[in-house]
Amino acid sequence: MSSPPVRYSRSVLRRWTLSICASAFIFISCNSRAAYRVNEHGADRSIRPGDDFYLYTNGAWLQGVTIPIGRASYDTRAIVNEKTSQRVRDLIQEAAAAHAVSEGAAQKVGDYYASFMDEDAIEARKLTPLADEMARISEIANKESLSSYLGSTLNGEVEGLTANADHIFGLWINQGFEDTAHNVVHLWQGGLGMPDRDDYLASSPKLTELRAQYRAHIAAILKLAGVIDSDAKAARVLSLEVRIAKAFAPDADAADVFKQNNPGKRADFATKAPGMDWDAYFHSAGLAGQPDFIVWQPSAVTGVSALVQSENRELWKDYLRFHLIEHYANVLPMAIAAEHLAFYNTLLSRSDQRPDRTQSAIAATNGALGQAVGQLYTQRYFPPEAKAKAQAMAADLIAAYRTRISNLTWMSATTKAKALEKLTALEIIVGYPDEWIDYSTLNIERGDALGNMRRAEAFLRSRNLAKLRQPVDPIEWPILPQIPGAVIMFSPNAEFFSAGILQPPYFDAQGDAASNYGSAGAGMAHEISHSFDELGNIYNSHGRLGDWWTPEDRSQFHAAAAKLATQFDSDCPFADVCVNGKQVLSESVADQAGLLVAHDAYLLSLKGRPDIIIGGLTGEERFFLAFAQRWRIAQTEDALRRQLKTDTHPPGKYRSDSVRNVDAWYKVFGIAPGDKLYLRPKDRVRIW
Ligand SMILES: [Zn+2]
């Protein structure tokens, strides 16, 4: 039942299933409408473009920018996030102030937010809104009623990226890895209050201390809930979580989807994972008739099921009381909410800054009514004309990929046919859903914060379960339109680019097309390439799991890419540290693909018309400048060194240098031998 609202589980990138390539989507460009006025927008024309294209484009911006206090870096992505957060905040607060009576999106959004903010009403109700569920926990008398209660907590709180569901197991309804025609239940590990397995198991002094603080936090919450002997009980609850953590899959397994593809039949649970009363569990979970499951971490299912059998029932009840309070802490009286925040936001996120109530309320409203907020957002900021422009750009990118893939030299003919089939089936969805979630059956009442949250969870749960009886919907939105971002759903086969990311300076529907293609277009094309590279080559056109490259494709691809790794190896921002070409190779290949394909697509968009001049610059000049601008970033030395060590994306400057492998760039800017970035034609990397 975690909510829709604020979730503390760490989201990890499930490399092969659902890849949020967020940092690859940092397209930094100046406002595209003004992109041609590069001098006023951060360029440094004292630099020769062929010597340092990044500084030529961004030098003045870099000189003038200050990294805000408390941050390690600052870039256009940060600016867009700030601007968008403010817009969402304003929209939600306006809806709350308008206090609409009609049952539309604005009423639900406004009342949800206002109730969350009404701390007096929350205080006055004390713990009574949870009395019924606390009583259900107290009534647990045997394994059947324990299993039944645990089943009632199963909800859609994971989505292919989550490491730890909020409850003992998490549920994700998606197509099967092999049976792509039907939605099945994906079952996840969960039930830990701290996000990582290591938080429970590692023996470092730091984590030992964290566990002591967590135990104190459990005790504090139990005490506030009126549980006697809370210190001793807290120690036992922690020990139960340690045993749950031991059953978790090792973190390394999270990167390999083949290890998570464990199809199972409902009938097998009792023999393969004895302990839990699975009939009772699945009945109360609403899954009594469900035959097929995919168990992502079998060790967690067998481990937890055994604990249901072996552990003291009173201990389970304390564990459940603690997690119930914790789950609703934000909409419970101040003392509980403050204790919750103190542990999660201060200690666990290791930051001194607690979010204010407003931030929590906005996050909760987005979580419960995300698409209702998205509707309000796009009505104001991303009209249908903007969507049409972005769709037209996506269509040009796909057309450009069709030609590029057909002409690849490293991919065999049979593999090309499969790639083209996948390209044809690929759905590129931009802006917002064509069909919004219908929230009309979700009752949101002003003044009932906890009731609203529960009803929103129940709504999500029944929507989720209904999907088991519906055909696979490849274009169901996995992200919110009002949050800047992009998601690749390898399974099924779709990519989503939110209205939040498709805004100036990345994309401007009324602005200069050349800049849009060079900035947002190159970002989208980068993401699309992942569906055909070593991330996407294990999912076919329907998102079915299975490698569709041949060993020859793979070795030829690696041979073609090796030259790019060598280029990056000689990029050294510090005397003692260079870029690790191998570490950044996969993302750099995608950058290269993104740039080339976006350039092709820009030329296609001209449909034979001449390239117009704006501000003395040709379209192709504006295209490449917008590309280099999207990578502008100011970061501290520490941040840059950390990036070099751990990030799979190279620093912005070197991403901007992708231009040196593109023949058109040489022509457009008159780059010649002797220029520092000059590469002989035979040294330019050609993969896509
Ligand atoms: Zn990427």
Give the pLDDT confidence of 388-438 residue by residue, as tens digits: 999 999 999 999 999 999 999 999 999 999 999 999 999 999 999 999 999
Gap from CA of 413 to ligand 1 centroid (Å): 25
Gap from CA of 200 to ligand 1 centroid (Å): 32
Gap from CA of 295 to ligand 1 centroid (Å): 28
Q: Rounded to an integer, what distance in angstroms lies between the CA atom of residue 233 and that of residue 229?
A: 6
The 10s digit of each residue's pLDDT in 574-603 is: 999 999 999 999 999 999 999 999 999 999
Long-range contacts (CB closer than 8 Å, 24 or more residues apart) made by 348-357: 348/8, 348/194, 348/195, 348/210, 353/70, 357/116, 357/117, 357/119
Gap from CA of 220 to ligand 1 centroid (Å): 43
Gap from CA of 523 to ligand 1 centroid (Å): 9
Gap from CA of 526 to ligand 1 centroid (Å): 6
Gap from CA of 123 to ligand 1 centroid (Å): 46
pLDDT, position 350:
61
Gap from CA of 21 to ligand 1 centroid (Å): 5
Gap from CA of 132 to ligand 1 centroid (Å): 47
Gap from CA of 555 to ligand 1 centroid (Å): 21
pLDDT, position 10:
25
SS3 of residue 504 by DSSP:
coil
Gap from CA of 177 to ligand 1 centroid (Å): 22
Gap from CA of 520 to ligand 1 centroid (Å): 14
Gap from CA of 527 to ligand 1 centroid (Å): 6
Gap from CA of 372 to ligand 1 centroid (Å): 30
Gap from CA of 227 to ligand 1 centroid (Å): 49
Q: Rounded to an integer, what distance in angstroms lies between the CA atom of residue 565 and that of residue 677?
A: 16
Gap from CA of 688 to ligand 1 centroid (Å): 15
Amino acid sitting at position 14: R
Q: Which two tokens stand for residue 662?
A: 């593109």
pLDDT, position 16:
26
Gap from CA of 655 to ligand 1 centroid (Å): 12
Gap from CA of 524 to ligand 1 centroid (Å): 10
560 neighbors 622 (Cβ within 8 angstroms):
no
Q: Rounded to an integer, what distance in angstroms lies between the CA atom of residue 354 and that of residue 425?
A: 45
Gap from CA of 185 to ligand 1 centroid (Å): 28
Gap from CA of 402 to ligand 1 centroid (Å): 20
pLDDT, position 459:
95
Gap from CA of 646 to ligand 1 centroid (Å): 15
pLDDT, position 11:
25
Gap from CA of 25 to ligand 1 centroid (Å): 7
Gap from CA of 23 to ligand 1 centroid (Å): 7
Burial string for 570-597 (b: 16+ CB within 10 Å, else e) reads ebebeeeeebbbebbbbbbbbbbbbbbb
Gap from CA of 589 to ligand 1 centroid (Å): 9
Gap from CA of 497 to ligand 1 centroid (Å): 14
Gap from CA of 530 to ligand 1 centroid (Å): 7
Gap from CA of 616 to ligand 1 centroid (Å): 33
Gap from CA of 4 to ligand 1 centroid (Å): 27
Gap from CA of 596 to ligand 1 centroid (Å): 15
Gap from CA of 586 to ligand 1 centroid (Å): 8
Gap from CA of 411 to ligand 1 centroid (Å): 20
Gap from CA of 549 to ligand 1 centroid (Å): 19
Long-range contacts (CB closer than 8 Å, 24 or more residues apart) made by 212-221: 213/343, 213/347, 214/238, 214/343, 217/339, 217/342, 217/343, 218/193, 218/322, 220/339, 221/322, 221/325, 221/326, 221/329, 221/336, 221/339, 221/340
Gap from CA of 588 to ligand 1 centroid (Å): 8
Gap from CA of 19 to ligand 1 centroid (Å): 9
Look at strands 292-295 and 263-265 and give their pairing. antiparallel
Gap from CA of 239 to ligand 1 centroid (Å): 40
Gap from CA of 563 to ligand 1 centroid (Å): 19
Q: Rounded to an integer, what distance in angstroms lies between the CA atom of residue 375 and that of residue 364?
A: 16
pLDDT, position 638:
95
Q: Rounded to an integer, what distance in angstroms lies between the CA atom of residue 33 and that of residue 41?
A: 11
Concatenated DSSP letters of 111-150: HHHHHHH-HHHHHHHTTGGGHHHHHHHHT--SHHHHHHHH
Gap from CA of 598 to ligand 1 centroid (Å): 15
Gap from CA of 117 to ligand 1 centroid (Å): 39
Gap from CA of 647 to ligand 1 centroid (Å): 11
Gap from CA of 587 to ligand 1 centroid (Å): 5
Gap from CA of 89 to ligand 1 centroid (Å): 30
Gap from CA of 488 to ligand 1 centroid (Å): 10
Positions of the chain with pLDDT under 70: 1-40, 157-162, 254, 350-354
Gap from CA of 283 to ligand 1 centroid (Å): 41
Gap from CA of 343 to ligand 1 centroid (Å): 34
pLDDT, position 302:
97
73 neighbors 639 (Cβ within 8 angstroms):
yes
Q: Across-strand partners of 183?
A: 175
Gap from CA of 593 to ligand 1 centroid (Å): 10
Cis amide prior to 274 (ω within 30 degrees): no
Gap from CA of 201 to ligand 1 centroid (Å): 32
Concatenated DSSP letters of 234-273: HHHHHHHHHHHHHHSPPGGGGG-HHHH--EEEGGGHHHHS
Gap from CA of 75 to ligand 1 centroid (Å): 18
Gap from CA of 590 to ligand 1 centroid (Å): 6
Tally of CB atoms within 10 A around 648: 16
